[in-house]
Amino acid sequence: MAAASGSVRLQRCMVSPAGRHSASLIFLHGSGDSGQGLRTWIKQVLNQELTFQHIKIIYPTAPPRPYTPMKGGISNVWFDRFKISNDCPEHLESINVMCQVLTDLIDDEVKSGIKKNRILVGGFSMGGCMAMHLAYRNHQDVAGVFALSSFLNKTSAVYQALQESDVILPELFQCHGTADELVLHSWGEETNSRLKSLGVSTKFLSFPGVYHELSKAELEKLKSWILTKLPGEMERQSE
């Protein structure tokens, strides 16, 4: 199920910065969720909204499409998978279509005056995988990438793209629960190791006893990392 670029405009919910907008964060949800659903989930885990003084947060919603792991049922997913496994081919056609759709989202921020090196992309589960494809194959000049409970397939097009790259790549911040039974912790570790071997500066944080879910400790670490990648005006002047 392909869609031409430009024909899909993603629904999105946004959290405006408290002060002057000087950076943007695109946060992609997991399969079957929505931008509003992810925003609400984060708020429940943190007991408060995730907000920043200078960073706008964009939570887009994946358009509904047939999803093979659900026997072809319609779901809000960024792309299709043949199965939830790291040992099968990627459904590259659907991934490539969504890379183009999400590029439009990045372009919107650039047109509004935000530089590419002041934009972060990341997500939870499938959203993290989508963010890695988006950044490492198409936008190697963003400020950084984060992936929570995510993985890349063993023969991922991301690895192939990085073998041909000779630029300084955005840093990857990865988190994974050791008790995750849907996306195994070892799949996340293997993804991190492969990317590191291909020249990506990576961080990998393990969270004992955490399943396929967001945790408060993880989100607090993520928030700190975001601020190191997208510092506010005062912090940038004092560097």
Q: Phi first, then psi: what are they for 101, rounded to 5°?
A: -65, -40
- On the 0-12 / 13-18 / 19+ scale of CB atoms within 10 A, 163 is exposed
Gap between the Cα atoms of 140 and 138, Å rounded: 6
Whether 180 sits among the annotated catalytic residues: the reply is: yes
- Pairing outcome for strands 23-28 and 64-67: unpaired
Specify the DSSP class assigned to residue 93: H
Q: H-helix or E-strand containing 145?
A: strand 144-148
From 34, 75, 212, 215, the catalytic residue: 212
The single residue of 80, 133, 180, 185 carrying the catalytic annotation is: 180
Q: Which residue in this structure is represented by tokens 């910065």? A: 17
Active site residue 165: no
For residue 18, the Cα-to-chain-centroid distance in whole angstroms is: 23
Alpha-carbon distance 115 to 72, whole Å?
39
Angle separating helix axes 126-133 and 92-111, nearest 10 degrees: 70
CA–CA separation, 220 vs 225, rounded Å?
A: 9
- Out of 22, 31, 94, 125, pick the active-site residue: 125
- Residue 110: left (phi > 0), alpha (psi -120 to 50), or beta? alpha
Active-site annotation, residues: 125, 180, 212
